[in-house]
Structure 1
Amino acid sequence: MVAKNQNTTTKVFPVLGMSCASCAGSAENSVKHAPGVINASVNFATGNLTVEYQPDMIDAVKLQKAVQAGGYDLLIEDEINQQDTLEAIQAQKFKQLKIKTIWAIILSLPVVAIGMFFMNISYANEIMWAFATPVVIILGKDFFVNAWKQAKHRSANMDTLVALSTGIAYLFSVFNMLFPEFWHQRGLHAHVYFEAASVVIAFILLGKLLEEKAKGNTSSAIKKLMGLQPKTVMVIQPDGTETQVAIEQVTAGDIILVKPGEKIAVDGLVTSGSSYVDESMLSGEPVPVLKKENEKVFAGTINQKGSFQFKAVKVGKETMLAHIIKMVQDAQGSKAPVQKLVDKIAGIFVPVVMSIAIITFILWFILGGDNGVVQGLLAAVTVLVIACPCALGLATPTAIMVGVGKGAENGILIKDAESLELAKRINAIVLDKTGTITEGRPQVLDIRWLDKDDSTKDILLSIEKQSEHPLAEAVVKHLAGVTATTSSMFDSITGKGAKANHKEETYFVGNRKLLTENNIAVADDLLKQAHEWGNQSKTVIWFANSKQALSVIAISDKIKETSVQAIQEIQDMGIDLYMLTGDNETTAKAIAQQTGIKHYKAEVLPQHKADFVKELQRQEKVVAMVGDGINDSTALATADVSIAMGKGSDIAMDVAKMTIISSDLTKIPQAIRLSKQTVATIKQNLFWAFIYNLIGIPVAAGILYPINGFLLNPMIAGAAMALSSVSVVSNSLRLKWKK
């Protein structure tokens, strides 16, 4: 690494060939020491290298060579093609891993069957050798290759543990099969351990397959966010002609035409026309916003039925959508996999086991007498066999698999082990309002008719069916059983409502301002009802003829039936609860009071949600973010535990590490309880895995021999290893029957 003394460039490159957190460290060190590099960081969770360098001293090709020198590779294609190439590589890797796992399991089954039940059949050893060899040498090749890479960098991980134990067990078994008389002449029986070697590789491959499947969804959220921006736009030239151009060619100052149903390409200001724009990806609120001249529009939002032109102000990486994408990428990249802890343990465990095996052989050689060499070799091999990482490797994944399965049965989809582990420590939960606490769709709650006369509701339906306004859809749904009459001369009045004629009478639907401007009288009982609904944070619209108001309608986003119960249950668990919403203060306060929420913030933008999560984290809180919209994606990615509502946007579900399928908030306390049970099981599993090694390794080394003459047979060591794995799996399965 060099001092920062001139212009530098910071870029992100995907790193290929990493299998664990230790690999990330090795790749990072390879780049850090390259001339011209200011700083480098490799994140194993995202598989990316973020490097700051001096372009006049080093370029992408030289960075790639530096990484290749460490035993890995760097994808240096341009950004346009990089994502597609990376996805193709990952898909191919997953396919190959799946094939290897299936074949490893198929080939290991007969080896286990013979080793456990049919050891006395003719050519038993040879048959097991024939089945185990392709598992170890072909299907398990990557473990040995990665272990060699780690050895070259003077480090060790789970691959080292797998390669060491399976390699020793396999080679020792081949020797015993080919030269059994070596042991017979010394009064010993030549045992083989082919089943131990093949089964360990099959199990570890299965674990890696599950890990790759979970990691494969990481980039899909970013891809969908990028998909919110159209590929081409219609630019109005100075002479008035329309030209379709690629999004990359749009520059600030261009006049862009947006037609009904189209996505807005860049941030800008409306210059002519008007329309309602769906900005739920920013605000999370279900009601589209009216855009008139000089109003701001944002990339990724969706135009409704109108058409307008706007001037491009911010393009490319400057748009709000681009900033959201960048923040989600940064937040996702800051997360580390749970396997990192296991790799750290393995990094200490492997050298210790190797040292014990070597010391065991040396002590037997010095103190063992005539058979010291033979007994020492047997004891050293027994240490390596009994220290097989099967129990250690299965301790976490089996508990996670059962815990995730248990969650799925209860409508809780959990994407990774880290979130399941962290959920038990949650002491602050941030809730989005719309679609999370509420249903997320406007609906008519009530209609009050003048003198209880609803004979004109068919006219109301006729007008609302012709209206473009989003609230009109709620009225149409509410009057689903009514047959609409015919009306003429429909006219949409921007920002106020609409009017139409029926049998020589004019009818109005809209806000109070529309009625006032047309000198329409409002009865006291309707006015009183409107004020009451307004104080309850409900949206009020009016229906009137040319003389008087005929009805007042209350529209609102209904609170879910289970929200109040869930909020009470969460707060009873001692967890701080906060509601954030882009809605106004009156509505937010009303919702908070109705649900019993003590802390809330109104008129919150997406980036402010993420900032609020970070502020809680600075207070050393473990924060869960619960949301359903694109506008929540940054905060979801920033939170320690991210939970999406299943009926919300696909992007929110992709970013989140947990998804509540039913969008029922009562599932959140269930998820926390499941986390506590799963983590307890993981701790029990790791305890038994380490206790097994703490007791088994010294016994295998011969610590009891001076006391009572007991020397552990390698075959018994193999059985003990298998028993430890069975106990770990059985303990994990107990989760299934817990409530």
Structure 2
Amino acid sequence: MLTGESIPTERLMGDSVTGGTINQSGTIIIRATHTGKDTNLAHIISLVEAAQMRKAPAQKLADMVAGYFSYGVIAASILTFIFWYFFGTHVWQDITHNATMKMVDTLSHQQSPLGISSPKIVSQYSGLILSLKLAIAVMVVACPCALGLATPTAILVGTAMGAEMGLLIKGGDVLEKVHHLSAVVFDKTGTLTTGQPKVTDCLPITSAETLGPTALLKLAAAVEVGTSHPLATAIQTAAKEKELTLPCATEFKTIPGLGISAIVDGSLVLLGKWEWLQERGITIPKVAEEQAVLLAKSGKTVVGVAMDDSFIGIIAVRDILRKDAQHTVAKLQNMGLRVVLLSGDRQEAANVIGKKIGLDVEDIIAGVPAIEKAITIKKLQQSYTVAMIGDGINDAPALSQADIGITLKSGTDIAMETAEIILMSDRLTDVVSSIQLSRATFNKIRQNIFWAFAYNILSIPLAAGILLPITGFSLSPTGAAGLMAFSSVSVVTNSLFLRRFNKT
């Protein structure tokens, strides 16, 4: 639970254990030294909550501008009225009169709100009517609908597209933050690897010609029936996959953290660590030691097998790399992102996985406990905008500390609660898809904001009568309303084009 590794942590007499973890085999007597808020699990939860409280919501440019935009529109409308009523109508009297008389046809056939019913009377109020008309046009055409729709419409379409692709995105601001990522940190076990150890090597080391790999695996699987250790599960699974018929085993004895023994067909068979086998009087051949070193350097866990007083073979187990891990890392690196491996496993195992997925030595950080993972993320945040990808309880503080937390559907409940993006299809390649979708969404937001600003920059002067002295053209309130509606429709339509997004 705390290391995130598939191999249990060995504990001997006098060592500390953690509440909520599982004793794989044997009987233990424990003394409670911490309770309630002082436990490790409670400390992890407090770290998650503290990191979440430090996070500030994304600030959208459009929202900030729109907050002051209404005041600016009102001011522009008032200034337009003042300019034309006190200055413009006096400087360009003929143009003003002609522009006002165009309204006579509509006003002469119906009673106006001011009680004006004839062209003659209308002409007397030409300055006031034109000034009001232009001021109203400015007010209508500059309605901040397009600016207000620029961000939420793109986010709405982006999150909907994410759901269709199997990306559960917790909030629109997450898409904006993903756009700024510069580093992606992966947990190893259960994220880059499957989290389910498998037997990779079964090597008989004996002069007896009758003992082959299959016979060695049958003996080991028969002994491992007596325990639920992850290594035992891997050996039993390998035997089932080969459809082997296991011999009968009795008198199981488990030494926690060291090994297990049983009587198989009248012979004492032992599986365990080198040191334990030697304590039982088993001599380890030199060829076995050399082979074990090579297997350990390749990131595998080595188990020795002995029968009676002789060492008979080696079984190696390793957590298998996900099929899409290497492709995902290469894609992220091609996108200009730094990829880091952060693991609680030993350095040798982490180096093997890191090398396979194409990481440099400086990007492989191993032997990091759960609580210190969040500290490591915090250090990276001094230079990068960081996404953390993990699946276990031990990853929760780091997921919360990172700018963006991403987890797989197969992750633990606390990981899914803490993460801001959940990959429902359980594919690592969806990490790339989420970043690509975020960038596409953010590009739409920028396009929408640009067009909203460009629309207002062009339409407000037009509505204020900038062309009136030159061409005699002025924008009516009705025409201003049409342009305003068109701007909103164009922003929404541009956002809908995001549905054409195709992940690569």
TM-score (norm 2): 0.82
Specify which of 568, 576, 579 is matched with residue 330 of structure 2: 568
Change (3 A) 1:372 1:485: farther
Q: 1:597 is paired with a residue of what secondary structure?
A: coil
The residue aligned with 2:223 is: 463
Q: Does residue 541 of the first structure (1) align with residue 303 of the second (2)? A: yes
Give the aligned residue type for 2:371. Answer: Q
The residue aligned with 2:374 is: 610
The residue aligned with 1:327 is: 47
Mapped to 2, the partners of 1:304 and 1:389 lie a distance apart of 63
Mapped to 2, the partners of 1:589 and 1:475 lie a distance apart of 24
Mapped to 2, the partners of 1:502 and 1:395 lie a distance apart of 73
Cα deviation, residue 685, structure 1: 0.5
Q: 1:734 is paired with a residue of what secondary structure?
A: helix
Give the aligned residue type for 2:39. Answer: T
Mapped to 2, the partners of 1:338 and 1:728 lie a distance apart of 21
Change (3 A) 1:337 1:376: farther
Q: 2:32 is paired with a residue of what secondary structure?
A: strand
Q: Does residue 485 of the first structure (1) align with residue 205 of the second (2)? A: no
Q: 1:351 is paired with a residue of what secondary structure?
A: helix
The residue aligned with 1:675 is: 438
The residue aligned with 1:429 is: 184
Mapped to 1, the partners of 2:224 and 2:273 lie a distance apart of 14
The residue aligned with 1:577 is: 339
Cα deviation, residue 553, structure 1: 0.7
The residue aligned with 2:261 is: 499
Q: 1:553 is paired with a residue of what secondary structure?
A: strand
Specify which of 421, 442, 445 is matched with residue 197 of structure 2: 442
Q: Does residue 417 of the first structure (1) align with residue 187 of the second (2)? A: no
Cα deviation, residue 688, structure 1: 0.7
Q: 1:541 is paired with a residue of what secondary structure?
A: strand
The residue aligned with 2:319 is: 557
The residue aligned with 1:211 is: none
The residue aligned with 1:130 is: none
Cα deviation, residue 628, structure 1: 1.8
Cα deviation, residue 729, structure 1: 1.8
Change (3 A) 1:403 1:508: same
For residues 290-309 of structure 1, the C-alpha deviation after alignment (integer angstroms, 9 at most, x for no partner) is: 44432222344345565544
Give the aligned residue type for 2:390. Answer: G
Q: Does residue 655 of the first structure (1) align with residue 375 of the second (2)? A: no
Cα deviation, residue 495, structure 1: 2.4
Q: 1:314 is paired with a residue of what secondary structure?
A: coil
Cα deviation, residue 673, structure 1: 3.1
The residue aligned with 2:104 is: none
8 Å CA contact 1:436–1:663 kept in 2: the answer is no
8 Å CA contact 1:299–1:319 kept in 2: the answer is yes
Q: 2:368 is paired with a residue of what secondary structure?
A: coil
Larger radius of gyration: 2
Give the aligned residue type for 1:495. Answer: G
Mapped to 2, the partners of 1:288 and 1:626 lie a distance apart of 22
8 Å CA contact 1:448–1:526 kept in 2: the answer is no
Q: Which has the higher contact order (CA 8 A, sep 6+)?
A: 2
Q: Which runs of 5+ in 2 are unaligned?
A: 90-123
Cα deviation, residue 328, structure 1: 1.8
Give the aligned residue type for 2:428. Answer: L
Cα deviation, residue 391, structure 1: 1.4
The residue aligned with 1:473 is: 233
Mapped to 1, the partners of 2:267 and 2:307 lie a distance apart of 7
Mapped to 1, the partners of 2:487 and 2:68 lie a distance apart of 20
Change (3 A) 1:384 1:474: same
Cα deviation, residue 604, structure 1: 0.6
8 Å CA contact 2:77–2:136 kept in 1: the answer is yes
For residues 630-681 of structure 1, the C-alpha deviation after alignment (integer angstroms, 9 at most, x for no partner) is: 2222222222232223332232233222233344433333433333322222
Mapped to 2, the partners of 1:350 and 1:313 lie a distance apart of 62
Mapped to 2, the partners of 1:304 and 1:538 lie a distance apart of 21
The residue aligned with 1:601 is: 365
Q: Equivalent residues in 2 for 1:127-206 (5 A)?
A: none
For residues 546-605 of structure 1, the C-alpha deviation after alignment (integer angstroms, 9 at most, x for no partner) is: 132333111111122222233233333333222111111222222222322112122112
Q: Does residue 347 of the first structure (1) align with residue 67 of the second (2)? A: yes
8 Å CA contact 2:448–2:491 kept in 1: the answer is yes
Cα deviation, residue 475, structure 1: 1.0
Q: Does residue 395 of the first structure (1) align with residue 150 of the second (2)? A: yes
Cα deviation, residue 687, structure 1: 0.8
Change (3 A) 1:460 1:388: same
CA RMSD of aligned residues (A): 2.7
Q: Equivalent residues in 2 for 1:506-525 (5 A)?
A: 506-522=268-284, 525=287
Change (3 A) 1:300 1:640: same
8 Å CA contact 1:338–1:417 kept in 2: the answer is no
TM-score (norm 1): 0.58
Mapped to 1, the partners of 2:330 and 2:60 lie a distance apart of 36
Mapped to 2, the partners of 1:335 and 1:360 lie a distance apart of 44
8 Å CA contact 1:459–1:486 kept in 2: the answer is no
Give the aligned residue type for 1:431. Answer: F
Mapped to 2, the partners of 1:301 and 1:388 lie a distance apart of 60
Mapped to 2, the partners of 1:407 and 1:586 lie a distance apart of 37
Give the aligned residue type for 2:473. Answer: F
Mapped to 2, the partners of 1:314 and 1:425 lie a distance apart of 41
Task: Return 401-410 or 531-540, whichever deviates more.
Answer: 401-410
Cα deviation, residue 376, structure 1: 4.4
Give the aligned residue type for 2:256. Answer: T
Q: Does residue 297 of the first structure (1) align with residue 17 of the second (2)? A: yes
Give the aligned residue type for 2:21. Answer: T
Q: 1:647 is paired with a residue of what secondary structure?
A: coil
